[in-house]
């Protein structure tokens, strides 16, 4: 079985997201069962070598439309591949392919668009028979792409330990002292409403927990409006509220020691929540967006329009018990995200399209002959 994978989401220039983690998991799972996929990428936008240790890397010339419709099509025809997998909805499938095409949908804001594709274009690709099967990674897929046909499969996301923080760094921000206990959240750079909501709620929580600190991991510099709002709430910058630059692994390290987390509404920013829950961190979140589905029973849900209700939710969690006592529900929720689910579910789709049985590594559940 010869598998070709569009590996542009792994490029060094692309901020790592769910699509990249999912692609790495599928490549690793294929390697465990004895398959070495061919990963194609733009020669002008290389992929780090350590991400392709279990695959054959093939740089192709061109970019954008030319890469997708000419370079990739030639590569597929010359290599006599059995299947092409495009692991992100941000890319466009080739107009003509000598083999079946599988496409994977994640959340709509997970990573920068690759090749300029449209998030809503995939169903149209299916109608035009350019894609034979779509895989939806739940619960991060958007509602409008819920599968309604036999040529769609839902799989579980990559397991928590496979998820890492973004490598995007905000180096212009000074590192302020962090002290325990603290609340932890992440600012995507445009989440003004979320940060203002949390700051207003945090001011009320400090009435009961005066030693509590708010730590915000930033992908970009906080706006002047945010900094002014912190002062208007009577909070001291770099003392009561601390903004720290994002770096690889920082969120997970801070999750080990935080008292509580705040999950933003933005769907693309929820991926760090899963590994944080695996480390025993509970969350407060709003009922809308992706966060409520991800957090589930591992936290409290409050209306994003009401800082007082959020303050009560945070206070309730903090008063329930210490961090060790509150860790069990969070870990149970994180266990729902099993890495083999996404990888094995993907292999099941391969097998269904190719009429072959793909066997998983020893000790794991067998992959069904046909995708469910």
Topology adopted by domain 3-159+338-354: Rossmann fold (3.40.50)
* C-alpha distances in Å from residue 128, one per residue of 94, 166, 241, 281: 11, 35, 52, 45
The 8-class DSSP code of residue 222 comes to: P
Contacts for 269 with CB less than 8 Å, ≥ 6 apart:
186, 188, 191
Q: How far is CA 307 from the centre of its chain?
A: 27
Spatial separation of the C-alpha atoms in residues 123 and 143, rounded to whole Å: 13
Please check whether the domain covering 182-334 is classified as CATH 3.20.20.80: no
Output the pLDDT for position 322.
76
Spatial separation of the C-alpha atoms in residues 108 and 270, rounded to whole Å: 12
Q: Which helix (H) or strand (E) holds 215?
A: strand 213-218
Spatial separation of the C-alpha atoms in residues 76 and 72, rounded to whole Å: 6
What's the CA dihedral at 88, 94, 99, 101 to 10 degrees?
Answer: 30
Nearest to 296 by CA among 334, 324, 265: 334
Whether the domain at 3-159+338-354 and the domain at 182-334 fall into the same CATH topology: yes
Half-sphere exposure of 317 (CA within 13 A, CB side): 30
pLDDT tens for the chain, 372 residues long, are: 789 999 998 888 776 667 787 888 888 888 888 888 999 999 998 888 888 888 899 999 988 889 999 999 999 999 999 999 999 887 888 888 899 999 888 754 433 333 334 444 445 555 456 788 888 776 555 444 444 455 777 665 544 333 333 333 344 444 568 888 899 988 765 555 578 888 999 999 999 999 999 998 887 777 888 888 899 999 998 889 988 887 767 777 888 888 888 876 654 556 678 778 888 888 888 776 667 777 877 788 887 778 899 899 899 988 887 778 778 888 888 777 655 567 777 888 888 888 764 554 444 444 443 333
pTM of the complete model: 0.59
Kindly list the domain boundaries of the chain, sorted by start residue: 3-159+338-354, 182-334
Spatial separation of the C-alpha atoms in residues 372 and 364, rounded to whole Å: 17
Output the pLDDT for position 114.
38
188 and 264 in contact (C-beta within 8 Å)?
yes
Output the pLDDT for position 20.
82
What tokens were used for 82? 């059995």
Spatial separation of the C-alpha atoms in residues 214 and 240, rounded to whole Å: 6
């Amino acid at each position: 079985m010869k598998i070709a994978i569009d590996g542009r989401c792994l490029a060094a220039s692309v901020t790592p997201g769910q699509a990249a983690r999912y692609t790495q998991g599928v490549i690793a799972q294929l390697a465990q069962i004895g398959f070495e996929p061919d990963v194609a990428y733009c020669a002008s936008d290389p992929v780090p070598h350590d991400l392709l240790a279990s695959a054959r890397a093939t740089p192709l010339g061109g970019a954008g439309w030319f890469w997708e419709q000419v370079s990739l099509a030639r590569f597929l025809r010359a290599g006599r591949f059995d299947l092409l997998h495009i692991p992100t909805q941000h890319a466009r499938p080739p107009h003509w392919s000598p083999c079946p095409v599988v496409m994977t949908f994640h959340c709509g804001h997970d990573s920068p668009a690759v090749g300029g594709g449209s998030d809503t274009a995939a169903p149209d690709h299916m109608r035009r028979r350019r894609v034979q099967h779509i895989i939806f990674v739940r619960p991060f897929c958007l509602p409008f792409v819920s599968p309604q046909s036999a040529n769609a499969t839902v799989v579980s996301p990559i397991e928590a330990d496979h998820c890492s923080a973004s490598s995007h760094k905000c180096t212009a921000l000074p590192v302020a002292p962090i002290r325990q206990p603290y609340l932890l959240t992440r600012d995507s750079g445009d989440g003004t409403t979320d940060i203002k909501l949390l700051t207003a709620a945090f001011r009320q929580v400090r009435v009961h927990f005066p030693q509590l600190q708010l730590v915000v991991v930033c992908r970009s510099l906080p706006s002047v409006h945010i900094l002014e709002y912190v002062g208007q709430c009577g909070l001291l910058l770099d003392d009561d509220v601390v903004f720290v630059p994002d770096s690889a692994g920082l969120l997970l390290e801070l999750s080990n020691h935080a008292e509580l987390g705040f999950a933003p509404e933005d769907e693309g920013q929820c991926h760090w929540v899963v590994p944080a829950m695996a480390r025993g961190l509970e969350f407060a979140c709003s009922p809308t967006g992706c966060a409520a589905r991800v957090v589930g029973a591992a936290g409290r849900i409050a209306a994003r329009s009401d800082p007082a209700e959020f303050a009560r939710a945070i206070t309730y969690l903090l008063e329930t018990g210490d961090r060790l006592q509150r860790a069990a529900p969070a870990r149970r929720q994180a266990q729902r995200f099993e890495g083999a689910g996404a990888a094995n579910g993907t292999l099941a789709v391969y097998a269904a399209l190719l009429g072959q049985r793909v066997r998983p590594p020893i000790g794991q559940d067998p992959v069904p002959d046909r995708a469910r």
